[in-house]
Amino acid sequence: MSALICGSIAFDTLMSFEGRFADEILPDHVHRLNVSFLVPNLDRQFGGCAGNIAYSLNLLGGEGYAMGTVGKDFHPYQDWLDQHGISRKYVKEIEDTYCAQAYITSDADGNQFTAFHPGAMNHAHEQHVPTDDSIDLGVIAPDGKDGMVQHAKQFADAGIDFIFDPGQGLPMFDGDELKTAIDQAAYVSVNEYEAQVIGEKTGLSVAEIAARVKAFIITSGADGATIHVGGRTINVPAATPASVNDPTGCGDAFRAGLIVGLQEGYDWEITGRMATLMGTIKVEHDGTQNHALTRDEFRARFEREFERKVA
């Protein structure tokens, strides 16, 4: 059985400014801002939520496909996916567009300027959820809004359980649209801040959202996660990182652990820990697809961290 992960496939261009933005921007001239920053350090990473989740899912031996739209500059990413044995069956190239791109400049204080170009991601709605390939679980991750809405409906119409994970796409949805997506979904997975935003937009409490789905999962970074399921609350601890290098993409790695736990039929105590461990492993590495391990290594670390066994 396979998971279909609908979401962005993007390049992340990361740049470091060794000074402080605050020292370069004059407060009384922000209405005529024209500044330039020397960025001696630049790194280009493979990213996007669908790509990131598929990458971590593949590490765990999970079955699944990334589904997304890409542009004419996709070829290096294509080679990367091929190198790691990640299927491109549902990756569609849109002519005369570029892949989605995030350009992020950070200063010495950790402040960031980010420019995001959606590019081919705006064509996500041109893809359709397949009813073959034994798809038994879906993921709606941040993508073009029309694509997210359409794919959620297609999963629901096909009777395929899916995880609604709006993430950075959350601001695009109003309260009624979020209620519709929640009612269509089997699972909702968000971080603490996103859970608060959903509550404010929909007027629904955590308990009311949990009552509409099979499980409502809220991540809390270093504090682990909380799973609201069947009228009870399960507090899932995080694993202890060997180092904290880069939190970018931790939520996507978490989702991969969640998918594998669901596919393999583990209870929520185990599934939640599989998810938090994958998030911890990711935070130990820079970038979103630079962590690597075998399932045997994952199993051994799981048992060390939680004193429980997993296959």
Q: What is the pLDDT along the chain (311 residues), one digit of tens a residue?
A: 799 999 999 999 989 899 988 887 767 766 677 778 899 989 899 999 999 999 999 999 999 999 999 999 999 999 999 999 999 999 999 999 999 998 988 888 878 888 899 999 999 999 999 987 789 999 999 999 999 999 999 999 999 999 999 998 999 999 999 999 999 999 999 999 999 999 999 999 999 999 999 999 999 999 999 999 999 999 999 999 999 888 889 999 999 999 999 999 999 999 999 999 999 999 999 889 999 999 999 999 999 999 888 87
HSE-CB of 44 using CA atoms within 13 angstroms: 7
2-9+48-98+120-306 has CATH 3.30.360.10 classification: no
The catalytic position among 252, 267, 286, 296 is 252
Answer yes or no: 252 catalytic: yes
Angle between helices 175-184 and 192-202 (to 10 degrees): 110
The C-alpha atoms of residue 66 and residue 49 are separated, in whole angstroms, by 9
